[in-house]
Amino acid sequence: MTPADTTDPRPVDVVYCGGCNPEIDRGAIAREIEPAGGDKTVLLSGCARACASDHQLVDETAGIIVAGRLVDGVPTAPADIPAAIARRLEE
Amino acid sequence: MGLKTPEQFLQELTDLHLNIYLMGQKVDDYVNHPIIRPSINSMAMTYELALQPEYADLMTATSHITGRTINRFTHIHQSREDLAKKVKMQRLLGQKTGSCFQRCVGMDAINALYSVTYETDKARGTDYHERFKKYLVYLQDNDLVADGAMTDPKGDRSLAPHEQADPDVFVHVVEKRADGIVVRGAKAHQTGACNSHEVIVMPTVAMRPEDADFAVSFSCPANAEGIYYIYGRQSCDTRKLEDNTLDVGNARFGGQEALMVFDDVFVPWENVYLCGETEFSGALVERFAGFHRQSYGGCKVGVGDVLIGASALAADYNGVPKASHIKDKLIEMTHLNETLFSCGLACSYEGVEMPAGNYQIDMLLANVCKQNVTRFPYEIARLAEDIAGGLMVTMPAAQDLADEKIGPIVEKYLAGQCDVPTIDRMRVLRLIENLTLGTAAVGYRTESMHGAGSPQAQRIMIARQSNMEHKKALAKELAGVGKPWDPPKAAAPGGGAGPDDGEKAKGDAE
């Protein structure tokens, strides 16, 4: 084990939309993915209007974009969204 | 080649030598045919306004591919501001023509295909998107009109395309060659088809794998060998054959629809954008329909502006502009019209950037927009007829007004507000008749109902996107559904918690 491994990973940065029309439970998703850590930001919008990512569905430079049932533009069932985010965090 | 002039458009349309049939006869000089020409003038207005500096902000855009200035009708929306400018441009053109100006279908087709070809390529490894972009540059650089052809005749609506007794009721591939495909079938209600340089064909419904031959999208010249057009009749259209400008209501402008027939038309592969990838047929239909439902929040509003203005003039000429019920009706018409505009703008400003890089409207709000368009123009038209009065449909003909003996009688008895010539009063009433019952009612009324999909099509989309579970959760939270119940304490002797006591308690609190 290296010294770096002894510290908890930095929680994932999550940017939320305002939450006026959520199709998914943003808080629950954030709680599930935050401990994973990583350098990427998760732009977490409740619906496909994608307010957290300035209305973009895909932007690799900005981070991982969740817009309702879309993860980086790919239709994803709500229950599968944390796993889909985790896969992208590992990429 | 930059932006074209209306004159260039007219010459090119003439040179296409389209195969057009009208009332059982082939029309060779369609550009000068009195029934067809007003619709050509409407299309020409999309060229004319683009050249005027005072309208350039709405009418032109910068191509994201070439960086050149193009007509906005050939533009791929690059921002939410672009989406909003599209709606405002359509309102402007509705105002200038008082009719359907027909160029929106091609714009909505290219914007739908732009993202769908991109996503098809990602999933299937095809090269449709690059093909389509080359074609797009051709449209933009040559300032061409493209007809967006989606609606098949559809035959028995209970059957899928491959189950139809006559497969030709859906456009389909009848032959695949090394150099391209051969297609057969027809597209119905084709707005502006006889005004177009090009045709962009898309499937009309979501499809299953068995429908692979019908999941086809392509472009071809409007005069490709094997294509012909049967021009659609419109209410009161033969008034245009009479030699007068009064009784038609709007002598300069109009709309057009046609039945477009593909009689074994060859399309080279470079112009094919979907061929058998049935899983993308539904997305193409939904996106084109979504863009077109947004469009109606602009174009119908512009025509509505004309009808509201005509109604206000009719009230002036009838001498009743200050009557409170007239003012209230004009307010109601304006309220309805601006509500439609609000919907068109709302779905634009809530648009998103697609993976392909283009911007798409908010689908829920676009469908709400169109659902309102299936209703509000009818109410606006009803109020216009109310204000205009019965004379709108009982007036003598222009020939009577022109007659040496009867004319002065018509002049005398149809006079209204004394400062206004009778001919002007008649002109305004004929314009209202044109918009509510005549040739323009095709665009303002029935097209508002069925164009871009009939009302039920929008309701299906609204149901899909209503986020009902969220609404239920909100109600559950406020009502306390699922939480432990704390029953009221048993009433103390001499008191209680009944309604009367509740009222008493309230009073006490006060």
Pairwise CB contact (< 8 Å): B352 & A47: no
Pairwise CB contact (< 8 Å): A73 & B353: no
Which residues in chain A belong to E strands, given as ranges? 13-16, 41-45, 64-67, 70-71, 74-75
A87 CB within 8 Å of a chain B CB: no
- In terms of Cβ atoms closer than 10 Å to its own Cβ (0-12, 13-18, 19+), residue B495 is exposed
Pairwise CB contact (< 8 Å): B355 & A47: no
According to DSSP, the residues that pair with B268 across neighbouring strands are: B180
d(CA B253, CA B257): 14
Which among A23, A55, A59 is the nearest to B467, CB-wise? A23
A21 CB within 8 Å of a chain B CB: yes
Query: What are the tens digits of pLDDT across the range B209-261?
Result: 999 999 999 999 999 999 999 999 999 999 999 988 999 999 999 999 999 99
Domain at B286-464, CATH from 1.20.1090.10, 3.20.20.70, 3.40.190.10, 1.20.140.10: 1.20.140.10
Q: Is the separation of the CB atoms in B216 and B209 below 8 Å?
A: no
Q: Is the separation of the CB atoms in B35 and B62 below 8 Å?
A: no
Q: Where are the domains of chain A?
A: 3-90
Residue-level pLDDT, tens digit, chain B, 510 residues? 689 999 999 999 999 999 999 999 999 999 999 999 999 999 999 999 999 999 999 999 999 999 999 999 999 999 999 999 999 999 999 999 999 999 999 999 999 999 999 999 999 999 999 999 999 999 999 999 999 999 999 999 999 999 999 999 999 999 999 999 999 999 999 999 999 999 999 999 999 999 999 999 999 999 999 999 999 999 999 999 998 899 999 999 999 999 999 999 999 999 999 999 999 999 999 999 999 999 999 999 999 999 999 999 999 999 999 999 999 999 999 999 999 999 999 999 999 999 999 999 999 999 999 999 999 999 999 999 999 999 999 999 999 999 999 999 999 999 998 899 999 999 999 999 999 999 999 999 999 999 999 999 999 999 999 999 999 999 999 999 999 999 998 876 665 544 444 444 443 333
Q: Which chain B residues are Cβ-neighbours of A22 within 8 angstroms?
A: 467, 470
Pairwise CB contact (< 8 Å): B353 & A55: yes
d(CA B91, CA B93): 5
Q: How many CA atoms lie within 13 A of B131 on its CB side?
A: 18
Q: Which CATH class, in words, describes the domain spanning B6-280?
A: mainly beta
A37 CB within 8 Å of a chain B CB: no
The question of whether B104 is a catalytic residue gets the answer yes
Q: Which chain A residues are Cβ-neighbours of B355 within 8 angstroms?
A: 57-58, 73
Q: Where are the domains of chain B?
A: 6-280, 286-464
Report the gap between the CA of B62 and the closest CA in chain A (Å): 21
Largest Cα–Cα separation, chain B: 99
Which among A22, A23, A57 is the nearest to B354, CB-wise? A57
The question of whether B292 is a catalytic residue gets the answer yes
Q: What is the ipTM of this complex?
A: 0.77
**Left if phi > 0, otherwise alpha if psi is -120 to 50, otherwise beta: which for B67?**
left
Pairwise CB contact (< 8 Å): B352 & A22: no
Query: What are the tens digits of pLDDT across the range A40-90?
Result: 999 999 999 999 999 999 998 989 999 999 999 999 999 999 999 999 988
The question of whether B369 is a catalytic residue gets the answer no
d(CA B225, CA B227): 6
Q: Which chain A residues are Cβ-neighbours of B350 within 8 angstroms?
A: 49, 55
